[in-house]
Amino acid sequence: MYQHNAMNAYRSAVSQSLSDREADAECFRRLIAALESVAYEGDVIKRNQAIAKNQRLWSLIQRANAVEAGMVETEDRLLFARMADQAQKYGIRAMLDPTLSLTPLIEAASNVLEGLSSLAEDEG
């Protein structure tokens, strides 16, 4: 019961404080920070944990764009699905090869963040 009430309070606070676009941008900011923090580090476990975050976020994006909600044009949904697919494939390769650079994952996340930030500026 307590957990349910706490979750409702959290959702209420979040819905009042961040727009969907702002929340998405924050997710990408955190992903970029996680990837950058391990990009040149030798700790494979931390690196793989950061890559796993990358995989989860892109998986959520892919899932969200696979469902037709009528809010996003089909062309944009296909673009997001392709980006998610490429980021996830590269993430798998990076997990299997600890010498593979994380720069492409950081750049993909940065590009999305830049797009989200410019859309937020246009709306605001």
Q: What whole-number distance in Å separates Cα of residue 94 and Cα of residue 103?
A: 10
Could you confirm whether domain 19-123 is CATH 1.20.120? yes
Segment 35-73, tens digit of pLDDT: 999 999 889 999 999 999 999 999 998 888 887 666 778
The pLDDT score that the predictor gives to residue 64 is 84
- Torsion angle, alpha carbons of 110, 112, 115, 116, to 10: -100
Statement: residue 15 has pLDDT above 60? no
DSSP element (H, E) containing 42? none
Predicted TM-score of the model (pTM): 0.78
Residues 6+ apart with CB under 8 A from 74: none
Domain assignments of the chain as residue spans, ordered by start: 19-123
